[in-house]
Amino acid sequence: MATIDRPPRGSRYVDQRHYVVPSRLADLHGPTGGHVTLDRSLDWSGDSTYDLDDPGDLQVMYQTVLNQAASAEDLNRWLDADILRRVWPSLWLPARLRALWQARFSDLAAPPQALAG
């Protein structure tokens, strides 16, 4: 009889969700301005084009890539290390994703800014 690998009883999806964290921030060499259109595997919303010169679009694009990346190559292609450091405190991210990144990169460990109300 086949064995099914199941999560522990009572565990939550948020605790099992796989997030990708790169080995080095220096590998992130994504676009730094202009319009970009994310691959459908990252953004299937139907409006996957972002203006990186618009702070709101930039923030949403970074949140989307961080949440949906399936590989380090996704992160390397779409994120830029300097921009990530700058916007990191204001990104709205799942607590576990933020903790994983901050555990690897201590320079991202500043507390997040409050969301605009």
pLDDT band at 17, cuts 50/70/90? Answer: confident
pLDDT tens digits for range 52-110? 999 999 999 999 999 999 999 999 999 999 999 999 999 999 999 999 999 999 989 86
CA separation for the pair 2, 95 (Å, rounded): 35
pLDDT tens digits for range 19-49? 999 999 999 999 999 999 999 999 988 889 9
Mean pLDDT of the chain: 86
More confident residue, 112 or 17: 17
The predicted pLDDT at position 15 comes to 56
CA separation for the pair 34, 81 (Å, rounded): 17
The predicted pLDDT at position 14 comes to 52
Query: Has residue 10 got a pLDDT over 90?
Result: no
Closest to 57 measured CA to CA, from 45, 65, 67, 49 = 49
Question: Is residue 49 within 8 Å of 36, Cβ to Cβ?
Answer: yes
